[in-house]
Structure 1
Amino acid sequence: MSRFFIALVVFSLLFLVLEFYAFQALKTITKNKYVKIIWVLAALAIYINLFYTVYSTPRSAGQTVRFQLAAGFLLTFLIPKLVIVIMMFGEDAVRIVQKTVSYVSPGTTQPIPSRRLFVSQLALVLAAIPFTSFLYGIFQGKYNYKVLKYQLSFEDLPEAFDGFTITQISDIHSGSFTNSDKIQYGIDLINEQKSDLILFTGDIVNNKADEMDNWIDAFKNFEAPYGKFSILGNHDYGDYVDWASKEEKAKNFEAVKEVHPKIGFDLLLNENRIIEKDGQKIAIVGVENWGKGFNQAGDLEKASLGIEKKDFKILMSHDPSHWEYKVKNDDFNYHLTLSGHTHGLQMGIEIPGFFRWSPSQYVYKQWAGLYSEFGRFINVNRGFGYHAFPGRVGIWPEISVIELKKGPSNT
């Protein structure tokens, strides 16, 4: 018996238990058979669509738009039902305790039927919150672009670069795109920032170079007087699909790299570029992907050849775990690191200045936004595109704009 079959049986049983409990809540508040039939048919349609998509999609295709939608709608219906199950299970636990006490001591309090009705109604109301949030995230939230602006001060910033602006974008994931008008809106928003420099920190595709074919004309129109530079992300290596041969995978990797100059970006592969202004300079350092538990092709030493420790340095490194495990403690002093990768898991809650939460924080110490240690900064961009889940809930697509200032550090 294969592991896949065992896993399928286990998950199927879990889904059945979940559906059974959720259905009990529905039965408690309505006797309308048509509502119950629609509920059951909707659940069957979601599961059948997912299983059909999984079985009909070859591994060589990677995560197609169709697969993402199938998985997205599963989550949209599944997570609200988890809310229902948790509440109903709690009610059942209370009822069991009460019945046990009543059996041992006749005459004590019995379960109250009206309470179960109230709990069922409350569970459905609460479940509606993630349900509507996920639907919004799939149809609109993934295009809810946010421009986040930061001003960072450094004592050793060359005076000529006081007020220099950088726009950072990350995680385009062009293989997920479906709406050209919305994507063009995001691109126009990037150009509206009129930054001196545009830096892209990896994952231009999901897996294959041809995912960018229909988007090159749109993305080649970025404007920045001091240049546009980019690096690779973990998805750009084609590691998440099955290839017919190593040669085919290598050919795709070369094609991915060739996309960058087609859209006007200078791709940095463990190398650096010097930006000069009024006779002064800063260094842009770009490493290949380095991630804890991922491809570790990034080479800081090689990427920094030709620059000095005293030079002001901006490092582009796709995965923020690189900063945590290698960069922040490096004596060579990388002043500012720009990363992406996490997407903030594309779901969470962010109330600026008050509260931030995402499941991503249990995997990455630096999961979204600006962090500093030892006088060094990292900005983890939440990503321009989306992947796996075809939407965003509470963690919106981001365009980061960073203004460099000369002065006492604001760490």
Structure 2
Amino acid sequence: MPRWLSMALFLVPVTTLLLVANVYLYRRLVRDVSTSVAARRAGFVLFAGGFIGSLGARLLGARLDTEAARATGLLLLIWMGLVLYLLLFTLVLDVGRRVVTRVRKAPEPPSPARRAFLARGVAAGATVAGAAVSTYGTWRAFHPPEVLDIPVRLPRLPKALEGFTLVQLSDIHIGGVLQRRFVDEMVARVNALKPDLIAVTGDLVDGSVPELGRYVAGFGALKARHGAYFITGNHDYYSGVDAWVAFVQGLGITVLRNRAVSIGDAGASFDLLGVDDWSAWKLGEPGYDLDAAMRGLRPDRASVLLAHQPSNFDEVARRDVGLQISGHTHGGQMFPGNLLGDLVWGEQNAGLSRMGNSHIYVSRGCGFVGPPMRVAAPPEIARIILLPG
């Protein structure tokens, strides 16, 4: 599938939703509650400008390279999230009012003044609720990711490696909003954990090397006893995967593209596998190749697979890989996205689950994509503690 078609299949429904949401909210929160021509014009400019600007900010991405442009872009992306929550609460209050009316079998308010009063009440309630949730979500997105300790019993892990700590960073999405300061704070936080190994499981960037290299360079300071490893995610493909692979390797981070390495020493070790992103084929790239990654592995050794998406875990479990570590889902990122993610991915939307003797851990990720908000799916740094199975 051509890249432009893949992007269109994503952007067209998102743009349509945002357009419908802005039109609906202008009608319900401005036109239906105010008779002032000036207020209606101001509301129209606000919603029309917010719609056009938020799309522009999303498309410009990493090219927001001045502080003024970055601040403007950030506000427009926040507007995108605010619109979604205003829409959610307005619909909930509208539907709730209609349900109550039907249950009570009461006629619609006959008085225009009464109807206007109820319309203003719904508008005020939705605005306050939407603004409150959006404010919290924005604060949570920029607040440092919480560190989660995840003990996992890994089959065939040597006793000498009990307590081995693998710190996972996923879905960081460095771009026009998250830049060098965010990177440096995260690196300091990870290094303070003194991990045995660091795994960056894809979607590192949203932009090209010339645009973002000066920010991503901060990951060169990651320190772990057995090194740092990187695998590709779908957004890394959108951003120029070969250039980014070369850049990351130049930072001293090992890139695993459908291959495996041994972690440990002659006395105690396990196999660490890494595959390219599952959906790379949609962009005409070779992508995910589990056969290549597992070629030559011994079945009596412990194994850990780094794979950006939770996809194909049933096959991974069938091949008796002890643990898969993934991201991609963001855990839904923003309510009700977390509930939709549960419907799509099931227990593999976020957290630890298992199939047979194999485990999978899916991180909610460190950053965000689209609106800079996290609601009911906080960002995380996962510290996976390996124990003999």
In which range does the TM-score fall when normalised by the shorter chain? 0.7 to 0.9
- TM superposition shift of 1:338: 0.6
1:281 corresponding residue in structure 2: 269
Answer yes or no: is 1:48 the counterpart of 2:60.
no
2:335 corresponding residue in structure 1: 348
- Alpha carbons of structure 1 residues 46 and 99: separation in structure 2 relative to 1, 3 Å: closer
Q: Give the whole-Å Cα distance in 1 for the aligned partners of 2:135 and 2:154.
A: 43
Partner of residue 384 from structure 2, selected from 402, 405, 408: 402
- TM superposition shift of 1:399: 0.5
Answer yes or no: is 1:370 the counterpart of 2:371.
no
How big is each residue's C-alpha offset from its partner over 1:47-70, in whole Å with a ceiling of 9 and x where there is no partner?
22432564x6897x5676566753
Report matched runs for 1:71-90 at 5 Å. Answer: 71-90=77-96
How big is each residue's C-alpha offset from its partner over 1:110-141, in whole Å with a ceiling of 9 and x where there is no partner?
78987985785366335523322213333553
Contact 1:142 1:397 in 2 (8 A): no
2:307 corresponding residue in structure 1: 317
- Alpha carbons of structure 1 residues 139 and 210: separation in structure 2 relative to 1, 3 Å: farther
Identity %: 25
- Alpha carbons of structure 1 residues 40 and 262: separation in structure 2 relative to 1, 3 Å: farther
How big is each residue's C-alpha offset from its partner over 1:151-185, in whole Å with a ceiling of 9 and x where there is no partner?
11235211121111110111221124445434322
- Structure 1 window deviating more from structure 2 (7-16 vs 66-75): it is 7-16
1:300 corresponding residue in structure 2: 290
Supply the AA of the counterpart residue of 1:151: P
Contact 2:81 2:373 in 1 (8 A): no
Q: Give the whole-Å Cα distance in 2 for the aligned partners of 1:278 and 1:263.
A: 27
- TM superposition shift of 1:237: 1.6
1:137 corresponding residue in structure 2: 137
1:249 corresponding residue in structure 2: none
Partner of residue 359 from structure 1, selected from 336, 340, 346: 340
Report matched runs for 1:74-223 at 5 Å. Answer: 74-91=80-97, 98-99=106-107, 117=117, 121=121, 124-125=124-125, 127-139=127-139, 141-178=141-178, 180-223=180-223
Q: Give the whole-Å Cα distance in 2 for the aligned partners of 1:287 and 1:5.
A: 30
- Normalised to the residue count of structure 2, the TM-score between the two structures is 0.80
Q: Give the whole-Å Cα distance in 2 for the aligned partners of 1:13 and 1:156.
A: 54
Supply the AA of the counterpart residue of 2:329: T
How big is each residue's C-alpha offset from its partner over 1:73-109, in whole Å with a ceiling of 9 and x where there is no partner?
1330342244224423553576696448xxxxxxxx9
Largest Rg, 1 or 2? 1
Q: Give the whole-Å Cα distance in 2 for the aligned partners of 1:39 and 1:46.
A: 11
Q: Give the whole-Å Cα distance in 1 for the aligned partners of 2:370 and 2:83.
A: 16
2:369 corresponding residue in structure 1: 387
- Alpha carbons of structure 1 residues 182 and 300: separation in structure 2 relative to 1, 3 Å: closer
Contact 1:176 1:390 in 2 (8 A): no
Unaligned residue ranges in structure 2 (runs of 5+)? 1-10, 65-69
Contact 2:303 2:322 in 1 (8 A): yes
- TM superposition shift of 1:264: 2.0
Contact 2:149 2:382 in 1 (8 A): yes
- Alpha carbons of structure 1 residues 206 and 120: separation in structure 2 relative to 1, 3 Å: same
Q: Give the whole-Å Cα distance in 1 for the aligned partners of 2:276 and 2:15.
A: 37
Supply the AA of the counterpart residue of 2:388: K
Contact 2:19 2:51 in 1 (8 A): no
Secondary structure of residue in 2 paired with 1:204: coil
Supply the AA of the counterpart residue of 1:401: R
- Normalised to the residue count of structure 1, the TM-score between the two structures is 0.76
How big is each residue's C-alpha offset from its partner over 1:371-392, in whole Å with a ceiling of 9 and x where there is no partner?
1111211111111222222232
How big is each residue's C-alpha offset from its partner over 1:279-338, in whole Å with a ceiling of 9 and x where there is no partner?
1210000011114995671111111122112211000000112324x322x23x110101
Answer yes or no: is 1:327 the counterpart of 2:309.
no
Contact 2:203 2:234 in 1 (8 A): yes
- Structure 1 window deviating more from structure 2 (361-370 vs 227-236): it is 361-370
Supply the AA of the counterpart residue of 1:321: S
Q: Give the whole-Å Cα distance in 2 for the aligned partners of 1:400 and 1:58.
A: 28
Contact 2:61 2:175 in 1 (8 A): no
Q: CA RMSD in A?
A: 3.8
Contact 2:138 2:374 in 1 (8 A): yes
Answer yes or no: is 1:20 the counterpart of 2:2.
no
Unaligned residue ranges in structure 1 (runs of 5+)? 101-108, 240-251, 350-355
Contact 1:69 1:390 in 2 (8 A): no
- TM superposition shift of 1:17: 3.7
- Alpha carbons of structure 1 residues 309 and 234: separation in structure 2 relative to 1, 3 Å: same
- Alpha carbons of structure 1 residues 13 and 312: separation in structure 2 relative to 1, 3 Å: closer
Supply the AA of the counterpart residue of 1:327: V
- Alpha carbons of structure 1 residues 363 and 127: separation in structure 2 relative to 1, 3 Å: farther
- Structure 1 window deviating more from structure 2 (203-212 vs 89-98): it is 89-98
Contact 2:169 2:199 in 1 (8 A): yes
Supply the AA of the counterpart residue of 2:226: Y
Secondary structure of residue in 2 paired with 1:175: coil
Secondary structure of residue in 1 paired with 2:353: strand
